[in-house]
Structure 1
Amino acid sequence: MRKIFITGTAGFIGFHLAQLLLKEGFRVHGYDGMTDYYDVRLKQRRTQMLLQNDAFAFTEGMLEDHERLDETIDAFAPDVIVHLAAQAGVRYSLENPRAYIDSNVVGTFNVMEAARRLKVDHLLMASTSSVYGANEEMPYKEAHKADTQLTIYAATKKANESMAHSYAHLHDIPTTMFRFFTVYGPWGRPDMAYFKFANAILDDRPIDIYNNGDMYRDFTYVEDLVRGIRLLIDAVPERPAGRDDIVEGDSLSPVAPYRVVNIGNSDKVRLLDFIDAIEECLGKKAIRNYMPMQMGDVPATWADANLLQRLTGYKPQTDFKDGIARFVTWFKDYYGK
């Protein structure tokens, strides 16, 4: 039975990935700091659900605590590490940038060191579409230049990509970085816009809509996302003999077993259409408060996911209206609204 170590299993994406891997017969050890960035009870509930499976074990700890992290990983001796834990949130990074350096830079370095020491078969780590920053060429492709990050959150994720490439090159660690695009769905993060919209609409509070609603996002349903991660676990990058061995459109490094992969729905959706879908599922109209663009935000994101499809044969395709309907069903049930 293959063993997968996942950081961030109390979080939104880590929880769904752990569920999927357990269903497929993997042994999974989760590691998470259970911070109070959002309601800890939601993280605790996700963890309780995972612990109902005998193939899952959990350790509470911070990524910055390298001794606890090393002790936990060494005891489990995983075949694969999937690093999802991070200080998330584009907007919070404007208020508390130090948290992002501690967790996303120092913490990620600790995970990489563990992968190097244990010589894992594959290290997979989460990046974000935010690394594309001010790039306006869309859809975003992995080969596009990504040097104009607009927030410290995005900058830390780009740093992770650079750090991971150097370790893949120096220590021959097969490494895949995935760039996520606006993930949503049941058991989501309360700080995400769609979650806050649903909550405010049901409570008769206004919702803030930035850039006067002229925003577009590539909304990716969480179960599609984790299916993509699951399939990428088996798509282990190999160091090429030279540049001539790299297929056009592949982000494989010419000097390392390292690759960057977009995971997105490849469909640019207008934010106002997304809000309309939430209203329809809730059977209630929002009180709309139109706002100017927020600092550090971008008007649009849109993924080219052809590389994911080429590597795995899989393409995320859940329509946002279907995904929102599933989220609203969960939301009303969980919160009794």
Structure 2
Amino acid sequence: MSAPVLVTGAAGFIGAAVCRRLLEQGESVLGLDNLNAYYDPALKQARLARLEATAAPGQWTFRHQAVEDGASLLALFEQRQPDRVVHLAAQAGVRHSIENPQAYLQSNLLGFGTVLEACRHHGVRHLVYASSSSVYGGNTNLPFSEAQAVNHPVSLYAATKKANELMAHSYSHLYGLPATGLRFFTVYGPWGRPDMAPMLFARAIQAGEPIRVFNHGHMRRDFTFIDDIVEGVIRCLEKPATANPAFQAVSPDPATSWAPHRIFNIGNSQPVALLHFIDVLERALGRTAIKDFQPMQPGDVAATAADTALLEAWVGFRPSTPLEQGVERFARWYRDYHA
């Protein structure tokens, strides 16, 4: 079988979905995850079991391993020689970064540094890595464009994601490593993370418990269905980043470079009010939510919206799953999984 694609964070929400798509395409996949207890590891194990059932003999390998363990990661690269890497492992969660910053320094900074080192020493031909819409921070100029500066993060999580973009660019410049950073916007769908709003809301609605609605409901989010995120990741993986021949150092474009490094938003480009999302979820679950209106949380932002023109120009794709369709699929999975 051909050289494997390494997917870090393979037991995570996006990671497992990307692995499944790669396996369905006939790729050999090497998954890596530390299976931490930030949320229930049983859900991560269930995602892994699903991947095992999808794969043909010899097509899928999983390693229980942390990316910040540099010696072990380099040994894994030496043994398996992956030719492409999708780096999705990270300590997730904006609010958790306020309570436990050390976990983000370890996983998101040290961990990403070890991945970059392994990629450069083993001739990886393309690194695709997860950034986040959180990097736009205090910016209120919507929709967010990759050409905008991202110098005002409002959480440590966001700061580590911007740092990842800068680290990747330096490796692209110094070592010629093609790298593409993807800024994900509020991903939801089947097999989602229990700490994110769709899962929190669904659990509370089903249990007849109040849901906390922050900023008194005055929030807008660019909810992006998981299948659209996966499609964007796969298309970008198949088109390695290249230098921009039109790059102007006197007026630098943050989205491109003289080095083989690119940045793209992946969002649905149709931000919706949080209260509308709750209304759609109520209808999908057939129950009414009890709303507990709360003030804005530290590290949060009032609205997000993605400009995806660069992504569409680069790979001919823009997310487009309607909210009602995506929420219905999520609700159906939620009921089945928790039956």
Same fold (TM > 0.5)? yes
Amino acid aligned to 2:12: G
Partner of 2:104: 100
Distance in 2, matches of 1:36 and 1:212, equals 30
Determine if contact 2:128/2:180 at 8 Å carries over to the other structure: yes
1:157 is aligned to 2:157: no
Distance in 1, matches of 2:287 and 2:51, equals 34
1:79-98 equivalences under 5 Å are 79-98=83-102
| Counterpart pick for 1:109 among 113, 126, 137 | 113
Q: Per-residue displacement from partner, 1:57-97 (whole Å, max 9, x unpaired)?
A: 10001112112212222211111011000000011111101
**Aligned length in residues:** 333
Q: Per-residue displacement from partner, 1:194-222 (whole Å, max 9, x unpaired)?
A: 10000001111100000010000000000
Determine if contact 2:138/2:152 at 8 Å carries over to the other structure: yes
Partner of 2:80: 76
Q: TM-score, normalised by structure 2?
A: 0.96
Partner of 2:282: 279
| Counterpart pick for 2:184 among 180, 204, 212 | 180
1:24-35 equivalences under 5 Å are 24-35=25-36
Q: TM-score, normalised by structure 1?
A: 0.96
Partner of 2:129: 125
Q: Per-residue displacement from partner, 1:245-300 (whole Å, max 9, x unpaired)?
A: 9xx9892213x110101011111111000000110011110110001111110000
1:262 is aligned to 2:283: no
- Quick check: 230-239 or 260-269, which moved more? 230-239
Deviation at 1:103, TM superposition (A): 0.2
Any idea what SS the aligned residue of 1:294 has?
coil
Q: Which runs of 5+ in 1 are unaligned?
A: none
Instruction: Provide runs of 4+ in structure 1 moved above 6 Å.
Output: none
Deviation at 1:239, TM superposition (A): 2.5
| Counterpart pick for 1:313 among 313, 316, 338 | 316
| Counterpart pick for 1:235 among 239, 247, 253 | 239
Amino acid aligned to 2:27: F
Determine if contact 1:131/1:155 at 8 Å carries over to the other structure: yes
Any idea what SS the aligned residue of 2:82 has?
coil
Amino acid aligned to 2:90: A
Partner of 1:291: 294
Determine if contact 1:140/1:302 at 8 Å carries over to the other structure: yes
Question: Over aligned residue pairs, what C-alpha RMSD do you find?
Answer: 1.5
**Percent identity of the aligned residues?**
46
Distance in 1, matches of 2:16 and 2:93, equals 18
| Counterpart pick for 2:193 among 186, 189, 196 | 189
Distance in 1, matches of 2:170 and 2:107, equals 19
Amino acid aligned to 1:14: G
Q: Which runs of 5+ in 2 are unaligned?
A: none
Distance in 2, matches of 1:48 and 1:216, equals 35
Distance in 2, matches of 1:250 and 1:103, equals 25
Distance in 1, matches of 2:20 and 2:33, equals 15
